[in-house]
Amino acid sequence: MAIYEVPIALNIVGGYLAEEGSPLIFLPVEPGLKVELSSTREGLYLGKIEEFVNVRRLEEIMELLFRHSGKRVGIKVVEKYPHYILSLGYEGAILATVAEDLGIDNEFLQRVIEGKVKSAERGLLAGSAICSQVRKPIAYRIDEGYVELEPGIPNMYLYVIGLKNIISLNEVTLHIRKLKKDYSDVFEPLFHAFCRLSIRVAEYLQVGDLEKLFFMLTLGHKILSTAGLISRLINEYVQRIENQDYWAKFLEDIGQYIFTLTVEDLEEKIKKIFKNLEVYKFHVI
């Protein structure tokens, strides 16, 4: 029996346009997910997080990993305080844990996930699993692989703010495709600019240029807002935090939430600004 504590990976930019060729940027955060693996017991025991993840998808992907390695393990999640906002991150962390225990490299893990998942979430899940496995910030692109973004920015906090109102990534992806079809002369350049912006986010994160990183993430939010992909309510949240001389961006993979990165501990201040909303604090590894 072995117990792993794996970081949760959050996608900060690129998720909506993963199928359009955009790089996705992931940050590994803690507190992570504790997973117990046993070679003497089979099965998947998810505990409190079961309602937040796609159990069938997890089981199908793990079956492919078991066949490839010739070994089977039982999985038991021992995380005590699950957050539904981390649903894709939970799936990625579990798959990363199993792959690490079975000696499966991230290249094979990526191929398995991309081949098995047919929805718009395939890029988010594959990138999340790889980020959790390597435990470093990464830039990832579907069908191409990933790049580690080191040395990065030390001692950085990530705050997630919002309310329980999940939106479907598949619905948004269909909306993006319709915009490109109906107004291609306008939205093709706009989405291409967003893809270029994702590359800049990776570069500035890697070299530790906070000012330029924040500018690019703010610009990314404005592009998504201009395209009509963000609700008025979320834009109000962003404006509220910008009025306090901080910045914020829509968090693309978990619904109606925004996030902000900072090297300061702003927990009390942010909770005061957003008294009636959920506020989650993470430390970026």
Arithmetic mean of pLDDT, 184-201: 90
DSSP code for 252:
T
Digit-coded pLDDT (tens) for 135-187: 999 999 999 999 999 888 888 999 999 877 666 677 777 888 888 888 888 88
| CATH topology assigned to domain 2-148 | Ribosomal Protein S5; domain 2 (3.30.230)
Digit-coded pLDDT (tens) for 228-281: 888 888 899 999 999 988 888 988 766 678 999 998 899 999 999 999 898 999
Tell me, yes or no, if the pTM score tops 0.85: yes
CATH code that applies to domain 156-284: 3.30.70.890
Strand partners, 278: 162
For residue 218, how many other CB atoms are within 10 A of its CB? 14
The CA-CA-CA angle for residues 238, 240, 241, to 5°, reads 70
Digit-coded pLDDT (tens) for 15-62: 888 888 899 999 999 988 999 998 877 788 888 888 878 899 999 999
Arithmetic mean of pLDDT, 217-228: 88
pLDDT at 250: 87
Q: Where are the domains positioned within the chain?
A: 2-148, 156-284
Judged against a pLDDT cut of 90, whether residue 282 lies above it is answered with yes
Arithmetic mean of pLDDT, 86-98: 90
Share of the chain above pLDDT 70, in %: 96
Separation in Å, CA 268 to CA 87, 260, 272, 279? 26, 14, 6, 10
Widest distance between CA atoms in the chain: 59
Of the two residues 118 and 200, the one the predictor is more confident about is 200
**Which residues neighbour 17 within 8 Å (Cβ) at sequence distance 6 or greater?**
176, 191, 194, 195, 198
Q: Both tokens of residue 199? A: 């590359």
